[in-house]
Amino acid sequence: MPSLVGVEITTQLSIYSRDSNFVKSAVDADSIPTAAVEKDNVDWLETTDTTVTADDTGVYSFAWTPDEAGTYEVQWVWEYGSVEYSKTERYTVESTIIGVSEETSDTDTELAEPDLGVSKACKITGTFYDASGNFMQGVHVRFTPLRLMDAVLTSGVIAQEVTAVSDENGLVQLYLVRGVKGMLAITGIGLVREVLVPEVGAIDLMDLAALGDDLLEVQRPQFTELPRRSS
């Protein structure tokens, strides 16, 4: 929804890392991040480390007020572990429409609600980058119910898997029916997990993967020693 000229916008950045089990946790940047605002691809505002505030562990924000209609982009830059990262957020500002500011994109499409209803579904979202930090388009995320008994609902049967593909902003999103166990596979990173869709309204894709078992992990055989028959 567009923002209004003259109405203050608060832009927030959240930084986190993931461990080997893909569990994420908030982390602080090496120093206070900086942010720059461009309007219609022209420099409009640059912030210093005194205008960006640290609200919580790994959470930073700053407020700015657009003075005319147009498209604004906020470019965050920070370092973590001596490695530089960046993130861009886009805002559309209009002079006649009053609204709450939020990140928008010309290519963003609203995820259609499932016919079963959102009360019985869990929204899965994730963003992919390549090794250089650029958005990664074309990553396939596939969820396949494991057994028919896991796909039977009171209102019918889940008869087909679902696949979603990341867009040019690296974003992938899909709905999965809550309580269904299935195989989650992500191409490009070789991740395969057996997961149970949680009874929540939304979850991050990698958080969902962290809940499952790694089927590619080497399994150690368990031997049972049987008693010997005496002669």
156-188 pLDDT, tens digit each: 656 578 899 988 888 999 999 888 888 898 886
> Are 8 and 77 found together in one domain?
yes
pLDDT in the model for residue 97: 34
pLDDT per residue over 79-96, tens digit each? 988 999 888 888 887 764
pLDDT in the model for residue 156: 60
**49 falls within a domain:** yes
pLDDT in the model for residue 73: 86
> Are 210 and 122 found together in one domain?
yes
- For 193-212, what is the mean pLDDT? 89
> Are 85 and 151 found together in one domain?
no
Q: What's the domain count of the chain?
A: 2
> Are 126 and 210 found together in one domain?
yes
Tell me which of 57, 79, 94 is where a domain ends.
94
pLDDT per residue over 98-114, tens digit each? 333 334 334 445 678 88
pLDDT in the model for residue 141: 92
pLDDT in the model for residue 123: 92
% of residues, the chain, pLDDT over 70: 74
> Are 142 and 71 found together in one domain?
no
Please give the mean pLDDT across all residues of the chain: 78
- Low-confidence winner among 32-36, 41-45, 93-97, 115-119 (lowest mean pLDDT): 93-97
**143 falls within a domain:** yes
Indicate if the pLDDT at residue 205 is higher than 80: yes
The whole-model pTM stands at: 0.47
pLDDT band at 223 (very low <50, low <70, confident <90, very high): low
Q: Which residues pair with 157 in a beta bridge?
A: 152
Q: CATH code at 46? A: 2.60.40.1930
Residue span of the structural domain in which 153 resides: 118-214
